Amino acid sequence: TLRRHAAAVHPCHYRKWCDSNRFDSMLPEDSKKRKRIEKDRQSLVIDHFGPEDPTTKPIPFSEKALRTAALEWMIATDQPIQVFKHPTFTKMLDIASRANRSIQLPSPKQSRAQVIKMFKQQLCSLRDRLNVTFFFFFFLFFSFLFFSFLFFSFLFAFKFTDILSCSLVGPHCDWRSQPDM
């Protein structure tokens, strides 16, 4: 209703205000005229492309550019100076250098999920290794018990008390010939 009032009573003042403030006139007749012009105008190929953004252009490779970017990254992320000598860092750069187009690193949310997944995989592999080790110790323990049982049953079969009471030195000790107690 305000637009209709402005169109009926103050069209000149409203259009003058729109021009001075770089505002599109919203009067009904001006809106219809604008839509008609846009509909009649044929689109050009240039209209589909926006202005070129200089930040999207890849930086050409040079040793100086790489060193500068690496130092800027080290300072911005508060990394130690030794990070450039770390094998995982050099591995990452080696992999990235073989890319034939720009690389996309994961978002923080994706990185977090991947770290959690890797942690769970490490826990599973550790659990598997410990189960094998536990089984091995379990086997050793019961083998020890079994052979201990055999040893003591052997001793009791030959009257363990007679063996202990006999002197083991000399031919006079024949524990089999002694009477049972």
Q: Which of 29-38, 108-117, 138-147 has the lowest mean pLDDT?
A: 138-147
CB under 8 Å, gap of 24 or more: what pairs does 42-50 form? none
Q: Which of 8-12, 27-31, 42-46, 94-98 has the lowest mean pLDDT?
A: 42-46
Q: Mutual orientation of helices 2-9 and 28-40 as an angle, nearest 10°? A: 90
What residues have CB less than 8 Å from 59, skipping those under 6 apart? 65, 69
User: For position 47, what pLDDT does the model report?
Assistant: 65
State the Cα angle at 83 between 77 and 89, rounded to 5°.
100
pTM for the full predicted model? 0.36
